[in-house]
Structure 1
Amino acid sequence: MQGAEYRVLGPLEVFFNGAPVAVPTGKGRVLLATLLLRPNRFVSADELVERLWNGSPPSVDRAAKTLQMTVLRLRQALGPANCISTSANGYLAGVENLDLLRFRSLAHTEPHAALALWRGAVLGNVVSEALHREDVPGLVEEHLVVLERRIEHDLDAGRTTELVPELRALTTEHPLRERFWAHLMIALYRSDQQAAALGAYQQVSRLLADELGIDPGLLLRDLHQSILRSEPVLGTRRDAVVPRQLPADLARFTGRTDDLARLDALLPTGTVGQAVVISAIAGSAGVGKTALAVHWAHRVRDRFPDGQLAVNLRGYDREEPLTPHDALGQLLRGLGHSKHEIPVETEQRIGVYRSLLADRRVLVLLDNARTAEQVRPLLPAGDRSVVVITSRSDLRGLVALNDAKVLKLGVLPLDQAVQLLENVIGVDRTRAEPEATAELARLCACLPLALRIAASLLVGEPQLRVRELVNQLSTEDRLATLEVDDDRQAAVSAAFDLSYTALTPEQQRMFRVLGLAPRADFTPMSAGALLGVPSSQALKLLRALARAHLVEEQAPQRFSQHDLLRLHARERALTEESAEQRRACAVRLLDHYLHSIDNAGRLTNAHGADKPLTKRDPVVEAVGFSDKDTALAWCLAEHDLLVELCEFASTERHFEHAWKLPYAMLAYLSRHATTGEYLRIFTIALNAARQLQDRHGESVALHLLGLTNKNLHRYEEAERALLEALRIRHEIGFQRGVAVTEAELASTYLWQGRHDEAQLHYRESVEQWRQLGNDVGWSVSMNSLAWTLVRGGDFAEAVVVAKEALAVQERLEAPRHSTYDTLAQAYAGLGDLNEAARTYRDIFASGTLANAGVREKAEIMCHGADVLNRVGDRQAALEHAREGLALAERGGQALAERARRLVQEIEAG
């Protein structure tokens, strides 16, 4: 024997070139056994973790690290017999010489040889409750089925007398397995023991009644009658048709490893009393439900020797859905019944169908189901059959009443989508343009139907480059491009249409207005605003669309669509909604977000002025917030959408929203938007305000663009924008705005070292605040003026101005750390280092820095450390300098470098 050999039908054993290989005990042995029970297919890491820890794994990180270490040690132990491969999501045992594979290949034709491979208790040397609970029973069932087949062969060969002792032992060991009792009755009868055969029937009848409260099955009852009639020929095999109705498998089926594993896990284990297994594969049109079901059915068809039935229920089709009555007719014909043998009444058809399948192991594929009511009459009885259903609905009625297990199928991951394209188009073409191939997958939303149609277009035109098709899909009607001429089934849009037409009128309108939003991201409130209904009603409609797999509930009460569904919804809206209706939808949506942002702004910016709002339809709801943290969390979660809404409002010419949205977001954006986003949003706001000839909105946008350009050190652009904002604010009499813009213009001059101009504009800002009676604004501008005086060398006046500002701030109980810092720097400039040091000690001891931002706190720490070092308090100086450095490293590279130099200077003495 050369190469590696693996054995699981008994103790776990591995050989290489005939010599045994030591398999590690513990988790390594459980891991190898789990993989060998699923030969040549990837097993997810999650499933392996379940087996290794008997369903009670530790933390995710620890489990993942332990699994990786277990795999490494197992590979090392197996050496040249290593068979384990790794994928992104799990592991695979790639084996050829495995006793389980040989057993299954011999099971139907050579049962004696198959059974000879069993060496005792399956995996008796592997300690794992989960493995022996979840996996081993299925193997034991396979063994029993083959044993039944072997006994039937022996009965046919006339070996009856010697079978009786074995069968008595088997009926004792498996008392509820009716086929062994049938074999015993036949063996006794053929051994001229008619009375004993009848006695065996009485024995099993009492047993079944006592244990399960049921009568013997049809097979035993028929045998009993035949023995009573002393019929010359008895047998357990009937001349029944074995249907092989599965559609052809896809030669290039790709991915879905985890989904296939979930279906494998549903295979019956032969447990007594187990109900028929029902698995419903649900998902949107084109997601590959039928392909997955057919591929899996082909993979496991050998587990169903009594046949495979398949019927297309036409639940989502151009033809009328198949009725249960007609579907039963098809199924009965597949089981060998002629037209005249099939009952006329539906209930009678159900009875005959279930009787025929009661003692058989049959796989039933019910494709394209529409409702649970359509499917329920087609479910077989017994404990051996498996039903696989595909549907665009989630068939929750089957879950509730029939214990169905639902597998929800989504679009493919990007890597699997690219692999599918490679498999169909060919590796040479796709790998010559890898970026274009990935982009093609994204444009197809990783939807298998769209991917296969796109691939077929390339296969049909060998000279067409992938990039050229990508350009077509990007610039032309994408849904119209994704269809095959003369084949109505090979069209993405047509597939979506079938799902759409199955909706109620209200659900249809909900679906299509979702296509009018700038992105496929909805809450009940935003969807309700689009449709013009309360959020409670919108949630019901969204959930109905989710059950039809036309939206996905990606998080509680958060819904999305993939790009192709969104395009289809938009096409429907453009066709079925008037321009006036579409505009009203957009306005309501924008109102929802504008008023929600305003609610958030009132909490996140308590001292900010009221922002202008639009009048909103009473049906439009706004998000309310209980506190500042929840308001900020909502803004952060919605950030990308909020930015996109500003552009959407401008593009759709909703100019009032296009400038009011950014303004309402100001408090949030000033802390959490990138500079690029800030410039883009307020450029939109400026253009929108000018379109409306709204001078106030224009001045707001100009002011904020000036501020942003100043922060970018683009001083000419900043000065130009701020001067224009100042001019407009004077013109329209917006005095508060004048005060704010004067201060920002002064700051722009200060940053350039133009101290005289900065002082001039800060003094003007102070005067405007004084006239308004706004002490908060006045004290802030006074502090800025004092700091400008410090920078300009006028320390004496700086002390006076800073003290005036502090007096007002103390009265207002406003934050004072910045003004104290200014005062201390003014003292230091005057040469009064002791007073400066005292001021900084007061700042550090009072806790006033708790209200400071990270960067501001770091600068004050460093200012104070420098002064304390200069007065000889080196220990305190070093402590504050190091704390300032730690903060500065979070506040920017330049600030951190200054702080680092200060620490080094103090350390050097």
Structure 2
Amino acid sequence: MDKRAFGRLLREARQRSLLTLEDLSGVSGVSVRAISDMERGRSLPRQATLGDLMDALDLDAEARRQLVQASVRRVRRVPQQLPPDPAVFRGRKEALRAAHGVTAQSAAVGGGHVVIAAVAGMAGVGKTTLAVHWAHEVAEHYPDGQLFVNLRGFEDSDRPLEPGVALGGFLTALGVPSSEIPSGTEERAALFKERTASRRLILVLDNARDSQQVRPLLPASVGCLTIVTSRNRLSGLVASEGASPIGLEVWTPAEAVAALAARIGQQRCWAEPEAAAELVALCGYLPLAVAVVGAQLSSTPGMPLRLGVRELRRARPRLDALTADDRRVDVRAVFSWSYRALTEETARFFRHLALHPGPAVSAEAAASLAGVELPAARRHLHELISASLLSRDAEGHYVLHDLVRAYGVELMEQEDDDRLAAETRLLDYLYDNARTANRFATQFTSELTDAPVAGVVQVAIDSREEGLDWFRQEESAAAAAVRLLADPRLLGHRINVTQEWMAYNAVAGRWTEEIWASRIGLDAALVLDDPVAVVRSGRHLARALCETGQYGLADEPVALILKHLHRIPLEQRARAERSVSWARAHQKRYTQALPHGRRALSIARTLDQRHEMGLALTQLGWVLAMLGDHRRTIALCEEALAVLGEVGDRRNQGVAWSNIGYAQQCLGDLDAAFAGHHQALQIFEAVDDPYSQAEALDYLAAAHLERGDTEQARASWRRSAELFSALRIARAAEMRTKAAALPLPHPETHPVVG
């Protein structure tokens, strides 16, 4: 957000508080000149100055959030997401005339209204090509960049991209930190409109399902051009949003021949004009089909065009998704021709690649699907790109057009390939590499011991950043695989993926994603009647619900844990009991949490599970602290420190120190309390655990307040809120409320900030 936006928010807040510039200066200690410069959009405040102003204005939590967000100094990012302008673009004079008419209409009225164009037509007709070419032609008039997204409205999975997911990508491209991107679609849409309000951007919303999918993605700025492509005519968007419809039909015969000549050479078409004309006619003048034919012919320069005509005539049956009144249209034959030109190994690879359920596929995932080594997979991918059966997106991932994907799946069924084995390898790739990535990225110790099946690519991960990069790369693939690979024989493998991805979802603050993933895993575990998986999935779901403030909903997974507890091995029960104690404590049902905490400790002591014993001691100590037994808390946590030190668990030593600090504070020993809290914070910072840092800062703030240091308490609660917000933890609001409830400092105690 720019300085003017911050100034507007500050001025409105001051006016709502009925304060003059002089009044606000007197209360906050900030000079009149400094405040005036801020309100006029000339400067932004330092953090301490902003805090003084917000305290003086007595703002609520939402108003504070808006001011803090507006005060961040950001480098204005100019996204460049458009795919390359197709070098072989030909024809479309009428469509381009209509497109430029839309742009000219906007310019004629001085840019006074939102400009939306809805490009509609059948699959493969070239909607995306036209939209991208048009966007490139007018890009110079939109200096703030271009955004592009494939909304996957018409794909075999029938799972269009959620508007919230698309908005998340747009906000990231516009430079919004992930910690500031809200989880809800409506909130993301509002933030997107806010961030684009003063920009001149081009948005290309490709392959939309319907108007409802598109509406949340529309900017409010009159300086933006939005181009939507869809097989749907989007009449609702035209009627309600004033979108200008641009209908796209197949090429004219002349346009189709010109496009073919651009791909295979003008001389070949001149040498066999009748064959060239019949080739494009047999393609139904469909741009996608002509492109595939052109790619194949260009790779066989000595092949007469009449032979291509003969193959297209004889090929049957036709691709169902592109059946038209003209019986000469046979897109499946075109795909078949290109497919048969592949080497045997690449043809097999293509069939397996088509099984990938996500919008884009990495080379490693593709290799795992096909069960081949990564170098071989890269060679096959290159061959498929050369044959125009595959493309790459801006991030280097590989993308199959929906019709090509459908064709590949049909081929796999015809060839009787082992689909189950391929999908098993994909799921095991997502599970096993997540297990490796977790060791570096999340410090999560896996409970799963299943070895991946043969043929799964092992990604080299040697650092936290590499682990996080891998998770980010495969986010969409994991989500799609868990949702869409529906063979009942895959249930166990899907459970493994959901459980191994839990730690990353927690670290990244992806709690919404974790809730639905845990539910999928829990449902699968119940179908399999696997008590161990039920308990693990139930633990993960209960935590995700509690972290998002949905405490009541956590009762269901907790009940399932308790129902199946007697069926799991004894050595796993301590952890299960401890997780129930944790959930009940977060629900503030401490008397119910207590017996589960005691049973967890008893089991761990009996089985001499040293690590679990240390964790159970810490958990039980916390519950007892909440119940007022502070001396017992100190004794248990001091024992936990020794046990956790034996097993090398520094993070949970920090938790024990935090509990000790809290208990000492309750007993009135503030010196010991501060010592415990500071020891805990040092450990959490060393192990890079922002969640525990936020909890420790909450305790530390209370200690500062008891000692009378209001400003230190306020600073600690604010920092705690920031950390919780970055992780999308619901308790952030509680921390902000605590900070806001503190009395304002006396203005004379603060120097004037110029």
Distance change >3 Å, CA 763–CA 550, structure 1 → 2: same
Question: Following the alignment from structure 2 to structure 1, what is the Cα–Cα distance between the partners of residues 625 and 421?
Answer: 56
2:352 pairs with one of 486, 509, 513:
513
Preserved contact between residue 444 and residue 503 of structure 2 (Cα < 8 Å): no
Length, aligned pairs only: 495
Quote the residue 1:789 is aligned against: 624
Q: Give, as a single letter, the amino acid of the residue that structure 1 aligns with 2:399.
A: S
Preserved contact between residue 749 and residue 758 of structure 1 (Cα < 8 Å): yes
The superposition leaves residues 692-731 of structure 1 with CA deviations (integer Å, 9 ceiling, x where unpaired) of 4433333323333343444456656634533443453433
The superposition leaves residues 489-523 of structure 1 with CA deviations (integer Å, 9 ceiling, x where unpaired) of 3x443443343344344433332332233235334
Per the TM alignment, residue 901 of structure 1 is displaced from its structure 2 partner at its CA by 3.9
Quote the residue 1:593 is aligned against: 430
| Residue 573 (structure 1) aligned with residue 412 (structure 2) | yes
Quote the residue 1:770 is aligned against: 605
Per the TM alignment, residue 368 of structure 1 is displaced from its structure 2 partner at its CA by 4.1
Quote the residue 1:871 is aligned against: 707
Distance change >3 Å, CA 712–CA 883, structure 1 → 2: closer
Distance change >3 Å, CA 635–CA 799, structure 1 → 2: same
Distance change >3 Å, CA 702–CA 287, structure 1 → 2: farther
Q: Give, as a single letter, the amino acid of the residue that structure 2 aligns with 1:521.
A: A
| Residue 485 (structure 1) aligned with residue 331 (structure 2) | no
Per the TM alignment, residue 61 of structure 1 is displaced from its structure 2 partner at its CA by 6.7
Preserved contact between residue 593 and residue 622 of structure 1 (Cα < 8 Å): no
The superposition leaves residues 101-145 of structure 1 with CA deviations (integer Å, 9 ceiling, x where unpaired) of xxxxxxxxxxxxxxxxxxxxxxxxxxxxxxxxxxxxxxxxxxxxx
Quote the residue 1:826 is aligned against: 663
Per the TM alignment, residue 613 of structure 1 is displaced from its structure 2 partner at its CA by 1.9
2:419 pairs with one of 582, 600, 622:
582
Distance change >3 Å, CA 543–CA 494, structure 1 → 2: same
3-state DSSP of counterpart to 1:638: helix
The superposition leaves residues 69-118 of structure 1 with CA deviations (integer Å, 9 ceiling, x where unpaired) of xxxxxxxxxxxxxxxx898799999xxxxxxxxxxxxxxxxxxxxxxxxx
Distance change >3 Å, CA 669–CA 633, structure 1 → 2: same
Preserved contact between residue 701 and residue 716 of structure 2 (Cα < 8 Å): yes
Quote the residue 1:895 is aligned against: 732
1:725 pairs with one of 524, 547, 561:
561
2:457 pairs with one of 614, 621, 624:
621
Q: Give, as a single letter, the amino acid of the residue that structure 2 aligns with 1:484.
A: A
Distance change >3 Å, CA 876–CA 774, structure 1 → 2: same
Question: Following the alignment from structure 1 to structure 2, what is the Cα–Cα distance between the partners of residues 826 and 887?
Answer: 23
Question: Following the alignment from structure 2 to structure 1, what is the Cα–Cα distance between the partners of residues 714 and 372?
Answer: 63
Q: Give, as a single letter, the amino acid of the residue that structure 1 aligns with 2:382.
A: R
3-state DSSP of counterpart to 1:858: helix
Per the TM alignment, residue 564 of structure 1 is displaced from its structure 2 partner at its CA by 1.4
Preserved contact between residue 531 and residue 568 of structure 2 (Cα < 8 Å): yes
Q: Give, as a single letter, the amino acid of the residue that structure 2 aligns with 1:564.
A: L
Preserved contact between residue 866 and residue 902 of structure 1 (Cα < 8 Å): no
Distance change >3 Å, CA 847–CA 686, structure 1 → 2: closer
1:552 pairs with one of 358, 369, 391:
391
| Residue 662 (structure 1) aligned with residue 502 (structure 2) | no
Per the TM alignment, residue 543 of structure 1 is displaced from its structure 2 partner at its CA by 1.3
Distance change >3 Å, CA 589–CA 863, structure 1 → 2: closer
Percent sequence identity over aligned pairs: 22
Relative to the length of structure 1, the TM-score reads 0.47
3-state DSSP of counterpart to 2:356: coil
3-state DSSP of counterpart to 2:398: strand
Per the TM alignment, residue 876 of structure 1 is displaced from its structure 2 partner at its CA by 4.4
Distance change >3 Å, CA 894–CA 830, structure 1 → 2: same
Distance change >3 Å, CA 679–CA 527, structure 1 → 2: same
Pairwise mapping of residues 624-643 of structure 1 onto structure 2 (< 5 A)?
Answer: 624-643=460-479
Q: Give, as a single letter, the amino acid of the residue that structure 2 aligns with 1:488.
A: R
2:582 pairs with one of 747, 752, 764:
747
| Residue 500 (structure 1) aligned with residue 339 (structure 2) | yes
Quote the residue 2:593 is aligned against: 758
Preserved contact between residue 368 and residue 456 of structure 2 (Cα < 8 Å): yes
Preserved contact between residue 546 and residue 552 of structure 1 (Cα < 8 Å): yes
Question: Following the alignment from structure 1 to structure 2, what is the Cα–Cα distance between the partners of residues 779 and 794?
Answer: 19
Pairwise mapping of residues 351-750 of structure 1 onto structure 2 (< 5 A)?
Answer: 368=294, 370=296, 479-489=319-329, 491-519=330-358, 521-554=360-393, 558-574=397-413, 576-578=414-416, 581-606=418-443, 608-614=445-451, 616-617=453-454, 619-651=455-487, 653-672=489-508, 674-711=510-547, 718-735=554-571, 737-750=572-585
Per the TM alignment, residue 786 of structure 1 is displaced from its structure 2 partner at its CA by 1.9
Preserved contact between residue 739 and residue 764 of structure 1 (Cα < 8 Å): yes
Pairwise mapping of residues 323-338 of structure 1 onto structure 2 (< 5 A)?
Answer: none
3-state DSSP of counterpart to 2:393: strand
* Bigger Cα displacement from structure 2, 823-832 vs 898-907: 898-907
Preserved contact between residue 699 and residue 725 of structure 1 (Cα < 8 Å): yes
Pairwise mapping of residues 844-863 of structure 1 onto structure 2 (< 5 A)?
Answer: 846=682, 848-851=684-687, 853-863=689-699
Relative to the length of structure 2, the TM-score reads 0.56
Question: Following the alignment from structure 1 to structure 2, what is the Cα–Cα distance between the partners of residues 532 and 287?
Answer: 39
Segments of structure 2 that go 5 or more residues without pairing to the other structure are 1-74, 81-99, 109-125, 139-248, 283-292, 309-316, 747-754
3-state DSSP of counterpart to 1:646: helix
Larger Rg: 1
Which structure exhibits the higher relative contact order, with contacts defined as CA atoms closer than 8 Å and separated by 6 or more residues?
A: 2
Q: Give, as a single letter, the amino acid of the residue that structure 2 aligns with 1:577.
A: E
Preserved contact between residue 646 and residue 681 of structure 1 (Cα < 8 Å): yes
Preserved contact between residue 786 and residue 797 of structure 1 (Cα < 8 Å): yes
Distance change >3 Å, CA 839–CA 635, structure 1 → 2: closer
Preserved contact between residue 435 and residue 446 of structure 2 (Cα < 8 Å): no
Question: Following the alignment from structure 2 to structure 1, what is the Cα–Cα distance between the partners of residues 530 and 711?
Answer: 58
Distance change >3 Å, CA 92–CA 564, structure 1 → 2: farther
3-state DSSP of counterpart to 1:654: helix
Per the TM alignment, residue 742 of structure 1 is displaced from its structure 2 partner at its CA by 0.8
Per the TM alignment, residue 630 of structure 1 is displaced from its structure 2 partner at its CA by 0.8
The superposition leaves residues 326-369 of structure 1 with CA deviations (integer Å, 9 ceiling, x where unpaired) of xxxxxxxxxxxxxxxxxxxxxxxxxxxxxxxxxxxxxxxxx947
Aligned Cα root-mean-square deviation (Å): 4.7
Distance change >3 Å, CA 510–CA 884, structure 1 → 2: closer
Per the TM alignment, residue 312 of structure 1 is displaced from its structure 2 partner at its CA by 4.7
Question: Following the alignment from structure 1 to structure 2, what is the Cα–Cα distance between the partners of residues 839 and 61?
Answer: 43
Per the TM alignment, residue 866 of structure 1 is displaced from its structure 2 partner at its CA by 2.9
Question: Following the alignment from structure 1 to structure 2, what is the Cα–Cα distance between the partners of residues 823 and 495?
Answer: 72
Distance change >3 Å, CA 860–CA 606, structure 1 → 2: closer
Quote the residue 1:5 is aligned against: none
Question: Following the alignment from structure 2 to structure 1, what is the Cα–Cα distance between the partners of residues 373 and 252?
Answer: 34
Preserved contact between residue 425 and residue 456 of structure 2 (Cα < 8 Å): yes
3-state DSSP of counterpart to 2:537: helix
3-state DSSP of counterpart to 1:516: coil
Distance change >3 Å, CA 734–CA 635, structure 1 → 2: farther
Preserved contact between residue 358 and residue 477 of structure 2 (Cα < 8 Å): yes
Q: Give, as a single letter, the amino acid of the residue that structure 2 aligns with 1:510.
A: F
Question: Following the alignment from structure 1 to structure 2, what is the Cα–Cα distance between the partners of residues 730 and 558?
Answer: 46
Preserved contact between residue 438 and residue 503 of structure 2 (Cα < 8 Å): yes
The superposition leaves residues 139-182 of structure 1 with CA deviations (integer Å, 9 ceiling, x where unpaired) of xxxxxxxxxxxxxxxxxxxxxxxxxxxxxxxxxxxxxxxxxxxx
Question: Following the alignment from structure 1 to structure 2, what is the Cα–Cα distance between the partners of residues 831 and 481?
Answer: 75
